[in-house]
Structure 1
Amino acid sequence: MKSTLRNLSDMLHQADPATPFCFELWNGEVISKGASPCFTLKFKNKTAAQRLLRNRFLGFGECYMQGDLELDGNFDDLFRLGIALEMHKDKLSLWQKFDLFLRYLKTLPTLGQAGQNIRRHYDLGNDFYSLYLDPSLTYSCAYFKKTDQDLISAQEDKYDHITKKLMLKPGDTLLDIGCGWGGMLIFAASNYRIKGLGVTLSPNQEAFARRRIEELGLAGKIQVRLQDYRQVEGQFDKIVSIGMYEHVGKRFQKKFMQKVSSLLKPGGLGLLHTIGKDTPSPTDPWTLRYIFPGGYLPSLSEITGAMGEKGLSIWDVENLRLHYAHTLDLWADKFETNWEKAIEMTDRSFARRWRLFLRSSAAGFRYGQTRLFQLLFCKGLNNKLPLTREHIYALREPVRP
């Protein structure tokens, strides 16, 4: 016990002095760092402290899910401190590393496994996602033109931002790889009179998107299929992929780009909207185990390298890091207002898991190494593209029916 207390004290001394906090221990003892703590982390038992010290974020996450850790105060401050202490760099035993490797092999996003990975996260039920997403169930970074903007209009502005980058026009054919619940396709068809195809591996997403498309009278313009991107055929004027590349996997990045290149017409534009990092680093074990099996956050250099090798010329790169932090804040706040419903739909441990996922992800974008990249690219060279970005920020003229 003395060793555990000493190690906790050592952690306090390494901490950011700008973040006052305290630990409340299972024996009633309180260890403080600074006055007026921003948060108090309560250890219900000695095991919780030992697991946090031994396995860092993996141990913290599992103990929090189980209720062995409680937090009084601000999650943002807690995770900012955790990032400063590099808590995301888990210390794993040889057995844990072996177990992680086995999970990696089992969840490798091959053609046969990718669908199972996606369904584990995205088929929790549309009612569950309605607890924190906007009514369109758009599950990706919004685009905020002002800080007090509501989530619904910010998601529409994200789609508007993307369509301007792609320079969509009536009659264009658009492929959406990983189309989610269909928000991008519906926006594009409603505002630009395009023809579109979306593919997803989630039956819940496909059913929801098809229903919305029918209700909006867009069935003759766009369609959604339950299909792996590797099985799509044809050629398209424009291609977009929003929040799907994180599920492609490290081993399949070049295969993804090769498929995109084969589907995009010469001179056509594509946009990749993905979470990533500045430099390559492994995804943390807690997220791989409990949130995104088979996931991988690529570095910007990995993305651009794979694009370049497959004949995709990069035209524009934008980092929307703080936009995603704010999006996650709004999701997490809405999730808290529906906390009891979340417990009723799942159970308390699962609700705590999702709270931790949303709050820690926001901190990762705000203080850590997580980024949100939008990469605009062209199939080959197109010398007729605009010389400036003025068209991206110009007011959109409505397309007449």
Structure 2
Amino acid sequence: MPGKDQSRASLPLLGALLPDLIRVGELTIIDARGGRSRFGPGGSGPKVVIRLHDRLLPIRLALDPMLATGEAYMDGSLTVEQGDVRDFLLVATTGLESVHRTRSSWVIPTLLRLGERLTPANGRRRARRNVEHHYDLPPELYDLFLDRDHLYSCAYFRTGSESLEEAQQAKMQHIMAKLLLGPDKRVLDIGCGWGALATTIVEETGASVTGLTLSAEQLASANARAQRRHVADKAQFVLRDYRDEQERYDRIVSVGMLEHVGRHHLDAYFSKVAGLLEEDGVGLIHSIGSAIGASDPRASKDRWMDRYIFPGGYIPALSDVMPAAERAGLWITDVEVLRLHYAETLRCWWERFQARRGEAAALMGERFCRMWEFYLASAETGFRNGRLMVFQLQLSRSREAVPLTRDYIAEAEGRFETPAGRRRVGAA
């Protein structure tokens, strides 16, 4: 087996980076000439073998790891010969946390950030195009890996042993408990997805909900769901940018939408939320977050994800979001950070997608499948080994809008636990 010096000689740039990145298991890289380089401590950890089919690929991988790795996997110039792409990404990033703490990791992200200044802002037209790119894909694709309610955001694993369906139901219960809902409340759902949360709020609490989306596919599905569940009189969905909403609401909820707002629009977003809330209203913002803020030199956009999956996306840190909420005059009444919940959600999605990969290939083609499995695997890697998490931010215009302690959250969730108790939440 080649030692560290030989590995660095055959892959000069990668050989300098990988020893710090791989702390568990072993990664073997076969280069275009057939040379083998091994990295990592080995032992009982996972053992992954990849092959690089392009002589220049190691340089591209070293200079722009995520973009080059994703594109190489998509076009077949990087193949995984032992394990799969999820194993590869998890092994190759086990030391990412410690690398993030070092100044040497700042150089490339800092250079990449220079290009972000030229990225167009998420105006109304661009925002709609960005949403169409991802959410107007054939609905049959999402059938392959999401839960039965098509909840496309972080689930909530109370014990870690739940099924995906159970964890997604628990997520909705957790959010509804924080919103202090009742049959007299008017709720705005910004970025309503396929309508599961909105219709569940109506069914469980009697509140009325208006859902906003920019996706024509999601709009049609949400309206069909409301009709199917006989709640169309109280769950209504419209194709509308949140910036164009004019009504005021008792409650505002937004799950997985803040990531699409864009860093330059955070102030406008929270000002709009404040303007749409009644004086005693309560809002709940559920979003992917980064533990590295925009002002940190190590912060950079995932260029592969931006190019192929979520164009215009921006993962905010609490240090980005909370000042914007404060400038809007909002009280931050509760903050909760969910760390590994999304990693577990993505693991479930990966397993479901792999179980039906043949159907996905027949529907979308092989290159799309490689892109999609790289997306799911790299996202999980970000939550397991990187600096990603999920936060739930409860907001209000009044300091007295919510109870003095958090006890009410668990109490409300407890009333959701049994079918006989669910309707009582609306009367609480």
Gaps of 5+ in 2: 1-7, 294-298, 416-420
After superposition, give the CA deviation of every residue in 1:103-130 in whole Å (9 maximum; x if it has no partner).
x22xx31012110011101111110111
Shifted more, 391-400 versus 259-268: the winner is 391-400
- 1:307 partner letter: A
Match of 2:182 in 1: 169
- Would you say 1:295 and 2:313 are equivalent positions? yes
Q: Distance in 2 between matches of 1:301 and 1:35?
A: 38
Q: Which moved more, 1:184-193 or 1:277-286?
A: 277-286
Structure-2 residue corresponding to 1:355: 373
Amino acid across the alignment from 1:389: R
* CA displacement at 1:261 relative to structure 2: 0.7
| Whole-Å separation in 2 of the counterparts to 1:377 and 1:208 | 29
Alignment partner, residue 32 of structure 2: 26
Residue 56 of structure 2 corresponds to which residue in structure 1?
Answer: 47
- The 5 A counterparts of 1:270-285 are 270-280=283-293, 281-285=299-303
Report if the CA contact (8 A) 1:134-1:151 is conserved: yes
CA distance in structure 2 between the partners assigned to 1:283 and 1:176 by the alignment? 27
Aligned to 1:204: 217
Deviation by residue 1:61-108 (Cα, 9 ceiling, x = unmatched):
1101111111222524633533635599794898x8887665x22xx3
Q: Which residue of 2 aligns with 1:217?
A: 230
Answering whether residue 193 of structure 2 is matched by residue 193 of structure 1, we say no
Within-5 A mapping of 1:95-106: 104-105=119-120
Change (3 A) 1:97 1:245: closer
Task: Establish whether residue 57 from structure 1 lines up as the match of residue 75 from structure 2.
Answer: no
- The C-alpha deviation readout for 1:250-285, integer Å capped at 9, x for no partner, is 111111111111110002110000011123223211
Distance 2:218 2:398 in 1: 33
Pair 110,83 (structure 1): closer, same or farther in 2 beyond 3 Å: farther
1:334 counterpart letter in structure 2: R
- 3-state SS of the aligned residue for 2:16? helix
1:292 aligned counterpart, secondary structure: coil
TM-score normalised by length of structure 2: 0.86
1:73 pairs with one of 57, 74, 83: 83
Q: CA distance change for structure 1 residues 17 and 216 in 2, over 3 Å: closer, same or farther? A: closer
- Alpha carbons of 1:114 and 1:15: their partners in 2 closer, same or farther (altered >3 Å)? closer
Paired position in structure 2 for 1:341: 359
Please give the alpha-carbon distance, in whole angstroms, between the structure 1 residues aligned to 2:177 and 2:19.
50
Contact 1:180 1:205 in 2 (8 A): yes
Separation in 1, partners of 2:150, 2:14: 42
Indicate if the aligned counterparts of 1:275 and 1:371 stay in contact, CA closer than 8 A: yes
Letter in 2 for 1:393: A
Deviations 1:332-365 (A, max 9, x none): 1101111111112112121111111111111111
Q: Distance in 1 between matches of 2:185 and 2:87?
A: 43
Preserved CA contact (<8 Å) 1:90 1:284:
no
Aligned to 1:385: 402
| Other-structure match for 1:136 | 149
CA distance in 2, matches of 1:373, 1:263: 22
The reply on whether 1:398 has 2:411 as its aligned counterpart is: no
Moved more, 5-14 or 215-224: 5-14
TM-superposed deviation, 1:146: 2.1
CA distance in 1, matches of 2:91, 2:27: 12
Deviation at 1:292, TM superposition (A): 0.9
Give the superposition deviation at 1:54.
Answer: 2.7
2:191 to 173, 178, 196: 178
Give the conservation status (yes or no) of the 8 Å contact 1:57–1:90.
no
Structure-1 separation of matches of 2:199 and 2:216: 18
Please, what TM-score do these two structures have when normalized by structure 1? 0.92
AA matched with 2:311: P
Query: What is the alpha-carbon distance in structure 2 between the residues aligned to residue 177 and residue 206 of structure 1?
Result: 13
- In structure 1, what is the equivalent of residue 265 of structure 2? 252
Report what 2:3 is aligned to: none
Whole-Å separation in 2 of the counterparts to 1:370 and 1:355: 19
Pairwise CA RMSD: 2.4
- In structure 2, do the counterparts of structure 1 residues 160 and 14 end up closer, same or farther at CA, with 3 Å as the change threshold? closer
Tell me, yes or no, if structure 1 residue 126 matches structure 2 residue 139. Answer: yes
Aligned partner of residue 146 in structure 1, secondary structure: coil
- Secondary structure, aligned partner of 1:112: helix
Alpha-carbon deviation of 1:185?
0.5
2:25 is paired with a residue whose SS is coil
Distance 1:220 1:142 in 2: 28
State the SS of the aligned residue for 2:11.
helix
